[in-house]
């Protein structure tokens, strides 16, 4: 039996997709209806998301479903976290949302901490400090006297905004709301004191919907434009990492994950946020998830450094596909040089090969020269950083984790999966690669009563998608490399 048709719109920092989901004989089947690149746009000094194009691509996905004669039961949208737009008195978007890698938040953290200590913010929110968190973006806008804040009445995060364009209803969704660093997970509401102290009007913020809540249906103008009937829209775990972790095919309630795409998000799922000194010291976060869970995790810079290197080479007329780059890395000399992928110098867009050279010079290493050497350096350094964060996750959650689930587009990089297993010295279970889209679907099906809860969904996901197991190899070499890596990067200090 075939059950229903739903679409998960999953917008990653590098690409977006409309995935059709169906349940056939008790298994999930996914079909890619539409895929598009997500290209940030620099205007003057500012870096933006192309929000209207993203909305256009969502409509293209709906049209493709229509043209294949597919009747949809529901849709849901997830995207990267922290970014937002404001809606003005006339119901229209004020300004074009900034990209979290825009430099307007450089040095904002220190300025805000002069007004409000970091420990107070962490105690209230349990969220890690990243300079692009919404709290710092809003503070930077305020300091710059941005007209957005005068004209804007309502604050909507990226999926909230796209959902608003589709339905005409304004809500904030919980999993994404927690990433603002303005939400209090203990109280379960926006943190009023924090908002007051920072001068952010409470009236900006909407009612917060839990993942799985109905969030309206396609409004008439959209149905007319596309020639489709009105379809229910659900709030899913609209933070893509929340959706990705919802799709981890774990059997054990205690599990480690790595959501591997533009970012590498590593951690474990917990029932209550872990807000203590050690969590703050390790700069771990507690992001809201499905069914009242939290993701105790840490951001690692991820394949972003590789994406930007590829873009740089392309600019210079040398195009490589990702599989080609992985192949070059495999052929390069092992354990040449290392970087700390989380050094702030790698955050903003730009010439990563040049920054890697600079990093190597500053740390007394011979700079890598060929593309293969550079990619090898990036991938080995990521795998070694995974070990560091894996062990921190174990310490912080006070448990021994027996392996690592990897989900996301990065698992197509089999070398990275194998090296991750080698670095942590435990098995890696890779799959599914479309984790965020599948987690998005799972929440829609839970909302429809098709699945009882997230654990039933995870069981079905496990039965529906292959998982590749990588056993650790070359343990001695990787341990020696790890010692060198820790010393060189100074990450343990
Ligand atoms: P996001 O959702 O953050 O945009 P994805 O989860 O789609 O990212 O992952 C994209 C990344 O996956 C790319 O940057 C690339 O490094 C990696 N990737 C995707 N396909 C392949 C492939 N065939 N071989 C190697 N790496 C791949
Ligand atoms: C991954 C992600 C991550 C956030 C970052 C802004 O796409 O949502 O969880 O920290 O983007």
- pLDDT tens profile 21-59: 999 999 999 999 999 999 999 999 999 999 999 999 999
Report helix, strand or coil for 354. helix
464 CB within 6 A, ligand 1? no
Q: Are 67 and 17 in contact (CB under 8 A)?
A: no
DSSP string covering 140-197, please? HHHHTT-HHHHHEEEEEEHHHHHHHHHHS---EEHHHHHTTT-EETTTTEE-HHHHHH
14 CB within 6 A, ligand 1? yes
pLDDT tens-digit series, residues 63-82? 999 999 999 999 999 999 99
Which burial class, exposed, middle or buried, applies to 270 when counting CB atoms under 10 A from its CB (0-12, 13-18, 19+)? middle
Q: Are 76 and 175 in contact (CB under 8 A)?
A: no
Q: How many A from CA of 407 to the centre of ligand 1?
A: 11
How many residues are given for the chain? 493
Q: Are 483 and 423 in contact (CB under 8 A)?
A: no
Strands annotated E in 12-157: 15-24, 27-37, 41-43, 46-48, 74-79, 84-88, 93-94, 152-157
Residue to probe by mutation, ligand 2, list 299, 389, 436, most atoms within 8 Å of CB: 299
* Average of per-residue pLDDT values in the chain: 97
Helices (H), 30-69: 51-67
Residue with tokens 């009242």: 292
240 is catalytic: yes
410 CB within 6 A, ligand 1? yes
Report helix, strand or coil for 85. strand
Residue 232, CB-side half-sphere exposure with 13 Å CA sphere? 15
pLDDT tens-digit series, residues 431-481? 999 999 999 999 999 999 999 999 999 999 999 999 999 999 999 999 999
- The predicted structure's pLDDT at residue 2: 62
In the predicted model, is pLDDT for residue 118 greater than 80? yes
Q: Percent helix, strand, coil in the chain (nearest 5)? A: 45, 20, 35
Q: How far is CA 373 from the centre of its chain?
A: 27
82 CB within 6 A, ligand 2? yes
- The predicted structure's pLDDT at residue 1: 58
Confidence of residue 99 (pLDDT cuts 50, 70, 90): very high
CA distance 449 to 148: 40
Residue to probe by mutation, ligand 1, list 80, 258, 322, most atoms within 8 Å of CB: 322
Residue with tokens 């493709």: 64
- The predicted structure's pLDDT at residue 372: 98
- The predicted structure's pLDDT at residue 399: 97
Q: How many A from CA of 328 to the centre of ligand 2?
A: 28
432 CB within 6 A, ligand 1? no
* Beta pairing class for 2-11 and 74-79: parallel
pLDDT tens-digit series, residues 164-215? 999 999 999 999 999 999 999 999 999 999 999 999 999 999 999 999 999 9
Q: How many A from CA of 409 to the centre of ligand 1?
A: 4
303 CB within 6 A, ligand 1? yes
Given the CA of residue 11, which atom of ligand 1 is nearest to it? 2
435 CB within 6 A, ligand 1? no
Strands annotated E in 345-464: 404-407, 428-430
Of the candidates 10, 73, 240, 342, the residue annotated as catalytic is 240
CA distance 66 to 86: 31
Q: How many A from CA of 271 to the centre of ligand 1?
A: 30
Residue to probe by mutation, ligand 2, list 10, 11, 12, 13, most atoms within 8 Å of CB: 13
- The predicted structure's pLDDT at residue 457: 98
Q: How many A from CA of 305 to the centre of ligand 1?
A: 12
| Dihedral Cα 377, 382, 386, 389, nearest 10 deg | 110
Q: Are 308 and 350 in contact (CB under 8 A)?
A: yes
Give the closest ligand to the alpha carbon of residue 411.
1
Question: Which residues, in sequence order, are CB contacts of 30 under 8 Å at separation 6+?
Answer: 19, 20, 21, 22, 434, 437, 438, 441
| Dihedral Cα 88, 92, 93, 94, nearest 10 deg | -40
Q: Is the pTM of this model over 0.80?
A: yes
């Amino acid at each position: 039996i075939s059950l229903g048709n739903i679409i998960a719109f999953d917008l990653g920092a590098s690409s977006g997709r409309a995935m059709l989901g169906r349940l056939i004989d008790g298994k999930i089947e996914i079909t890619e209806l539409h895929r598009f690149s997500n290209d940030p746009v620099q205007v003057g000094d500012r870096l933006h998301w192309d929000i209207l194009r993203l909305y256009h691509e969502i409509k293209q996905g709906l049209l493709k479903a229509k043209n294949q004669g597919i009747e949809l039961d529901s849709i849901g949208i997830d995207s990267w976290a922290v970014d937002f737009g404001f809606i003005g008195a006339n119901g229209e978007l004020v300004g074009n949302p900034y990209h979290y890698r825009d430099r307007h938040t450089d040095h904002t953290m220190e300025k805000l901490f002069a007004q409000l200590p970091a420990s107070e913010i962490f105690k209230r929110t349990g969220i890690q400090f990243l300079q692009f968190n919404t709290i710092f973006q809003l503070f930077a806008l305020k300091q710059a006297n941005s007209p957005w804040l005068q004209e804007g009445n309502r604050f909507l995060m990226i999926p909230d905004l796209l959902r608003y364009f589709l339905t005409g209803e304004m809500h904030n969704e919980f999993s994404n709301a927690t990433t603002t660093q303005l939400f209090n997970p203990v109280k379960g509401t926006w943190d009023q004191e924090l908002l007051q102290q920072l001068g952010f009007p409470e009236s900006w913020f909407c009612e917060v919907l839990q993942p799985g809540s109905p969030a309206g249906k396609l409004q008439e103008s959209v149905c007319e434009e596309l020639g489709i009937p009105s379809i229910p829209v659900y709030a899913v775990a609209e933070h893509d990492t929340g959706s990705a972790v919802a799709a981890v095919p774990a059997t054990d309630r205690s599990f480690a994950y790595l959501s591997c795409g533009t970012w590498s998000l590593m951690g474990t799922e917990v029932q209550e946020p872990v807000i203590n000194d050690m969590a703050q010291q390790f700069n771990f976060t507690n992001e809201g998830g499905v069914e009242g869970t939290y993701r105790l995790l840490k951001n690692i810079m991820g394949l972003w450094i590789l994406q930007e290197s590829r873009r740089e080479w392309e600019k210079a007329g040398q195009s490589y596909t990702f599989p080609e780059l992985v192949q070059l890395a495999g052929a390069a000399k092992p354990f040449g040089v290392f970087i700390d992928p989380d050094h702030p110098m790698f955050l903003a867009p730009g010439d990563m090969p040049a920054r890697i050279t600079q990093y190597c010079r500053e740390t007394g290493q011979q700079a890598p020269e060929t593309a293969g050497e550079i990619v090898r350096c990036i991938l080995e350094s990521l795998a070694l950083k995974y070990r560091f964060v894996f062990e921190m996750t174990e310490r912080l959650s006070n448990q021994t984790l027996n392996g690592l689930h990897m989900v996301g587009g990065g698992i197509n990089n089999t070398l990275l999966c194998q090296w991750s297993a080698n670095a942590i010295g435990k098995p890696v279970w890779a799959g599914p690669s479309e984790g965020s889209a599948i987690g998005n679907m799972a929440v829609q099906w839970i909302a429809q009563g098709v699945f009882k809860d997230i654990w039933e969904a995870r069981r079905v996901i496990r039965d529906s998608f292959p998982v590749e197991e990588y056993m650790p190899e070359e343990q001695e070499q990787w341990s020696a490399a790890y010692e060198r890596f820790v010393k060189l990067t100074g990450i343990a200090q």
